[in-house]
A = this chain, B = another copy of it.
Amino acid sequence: MTGDSTFELDSTDWRVLAELQEDARLSYAELGRRVGLGATAATDRVRRLVEGGVIKGFRAEVDLERVGYGVLAVVRLRYPSGNYRKLHAELERTTEILQCHHVTGEDCFVLFVAARNMRDLERLVGRIASLGSTTTSVVYSSPLPSRVVTAPSG
């Protein structure tokens, strides 16, 4: 199954998602215990969610500061024309670019860039600026670095 339809999730599915977003390495037995299922039923749920594309993957989250990236920045890029080849190439080779989103508005792309220090950031942003005009904001801190996705309320 592929395509981009939306997937029907019952409340148990949401509890499974909540648990796995907080600890993706939970055993199926423990997961089942937490959401009120047996190990097999929990396994089936997770398999359905993965195959249905609801769970895109299981990722270890690494602390950028601890591994030597002391600086994180949001770079907005005003990219001229529809030639995405150069941008694509830049994304490919620059592993310090952690995210890139194509967005509406004057700044066509929003990038997250990790650097060891301001000097490296200067170099990285300089390279990006060869593609178009940039606006860079350095992250002081992240009051909400990421949140678990929950069911739409309304």
Residues of chain A touching chain B, judged by Cβ–Cβ distance below 8 Å, are 4-7, 9, 17, 20-25, 52-70, 72, 74, 84, 87-88, 91, 95-105, 107, 109-110, 114, 116, 120, 135-147, 149-154
Contacts and interface: CB of A to CB of B under 8 A. Distances in A.
B21 A24 contact: no
B149 A22 contact: no
Given A55-B61, A59-B59, A84-B143, 8 more contacts: A24-B25, A72-B101, A96-B152, A97-B144, A98-B144, A100-B143, A110-B137, A120-B154
Given A88-B143, A101-B142, A110-B137, A52 B66 contact: yes
Contacts of A66: 4-7, 52-54
Contacts of A141: 101-102
Nearest to A102: B140
8 contacts: A9-B67, A22-B57, A55-B63, A56-B62, A64-B149, A69-B149, A72-B101, A100-B143
Contact of A67 (B69, B88, B99, B149): B149
Copies in the complex: 2
Contacts of A72: 101
A65 B6 contact: yes
A38 B20 CA distance: 26
A137 B103 contact: yes
Nearest to A106: B137
A146 B104 contact: no
